[in-house]
Amino acid sequence: MDYSRKIAERLWNLPDKGELESRREEVFIDDIIQKSHMEKELLSHLDGIKTVFDGGAGCGRFSILLAQKGCAVTHFDLSEPMIDKAKELAAKAGVLDKITFVKGALEELKDFNDRSFDLVISFDAPVSYTYPHQKKVIGELVRICRKRIMISVSSRLGSLPYLSNPMQKCQFLLDETSDDPFVKWCIENKESAVEAFHFDKEAVLKLYREGLMGGDSEIAEYENGGTPWCITYTFMPDELEDLLKHYGVKNIKLAGPGAYARTLPRELLVKIMNDEKQRSDFLDFCHFYDANPFVCGMGKDNLFAQGEL
């Protein structure tokens, strides 16, 4: 088994992953914006959609939404804690009987027949964690799709600023008093991140050229019993579009959720999010702006693509 998959399985199967991931829209503004963008796209493309495959479905954010809209959903994920959390949330939403839960890795979709699902989705970049099989995985997701596919992958252009701004996540903290462990880590390590920072031109260019985040150090940490972040392949917009075209996807549209929000300081983002009218208007405008092809690569973390079969 490839290290990427082993590392991903260890990370996503941590006992607290289900609970923490289910609360991300409560603590991080960029997650709110990203999920809102995808939700708007889903809800505007449900005509004729009866069956859905949600690959890397996590805690069921979209599986549950689609089940509530009357779709029969296959919720597919490699994390038992997140599947358990998804079942809990689906039961609370009254749609447990409309979702089939399957534990598995995106690298292995051979048990699903060609054109099995009207809609195939895979959000929050699980495809990027399947390196070096990311191209094959996209091909498999297309293979099992009958009508429409929507995926989000890690964005290379969107990821590059992280190498020049280790505090970038702090911009999107909705509540600094949250007991979320990552929120606490961001706040506690802010000053040390500034002190330790130096701009590394070669590291930035290496990511730009190769698209890969992680490698030998993550493998070493894994071998020593640690739980590093996933080895991640980041995509360029034209690369993702060409790949989807290669597999027969038509009418492809790209977007970069979070591109507009990157231009605002945290103080204003928090003010917007805490006012119901401003929040609704802001999310609507972000959806409009972030879908512009000239900014799609600069989405906060993800590059979003959709098309028809």
How much is the pLDDT for 101? Answer: 98
The arithmetic mean of pLDDT across residues 131-157, rounded, is 97
Instruction: State the chain's mean pLDDT as an integer.
Output: 95
Q: Biggest alpha carbon distance in the chain?
A: 55
189 phi and psi, to 5 degrees? -105, 10
Q: Would you call 150 helix, strand, or coil by DSSP? A: strand
How much is the pLDDT for 115? Answer: 98
How much is the pLDDT for 2? Answer: 87
149 phi and psi, to 5 degrees? -125, 140
CA end-to-end span of the chain: 31
Q: Tens digits of per-residue pLDDT, 172-184? A: 999 999 999 999 9
At 290, is the pLDDT very low, low, confident or very high (cuts 50, 70, 90)? very high
Report whether pLDDT(301) > 90: no
Closest by CA position to 46, among listed 192, 135, 136, 148: 148
How much is the pLDDT for 166? Answer: 84
Report whether pLDDT(20) > 90: no
How much is the pLDDT for 239? Answer: 98
How much is the pLDDT for 98? Answer: 97
Torsion of CA 8, 11, 12, 13, to 10 degrees: 120
Per the CB < 8 A criterion, the answer to whether 231 and 4 are in contact is yes
Task: Determine how β-strand 72-77 pairs with β-strand 99-103.
Answer: parallel
Per the CB < 8 A criterion, the answer to whether 59 and 82 are in contact is yes
Report whether pLDDT(1) > 70: no
Per the CB < 8 A criterion, the answer to whether 133 and 112 are in contact is no
Beta strand ranges found along 215-299 (DSSP E): 232-233, 250-255
Q: Tens digits of per-residue pLDDT, 75-124? A: 999 999 999 999 999 999 999 999 999 999 999 999 999 999 999 999 99
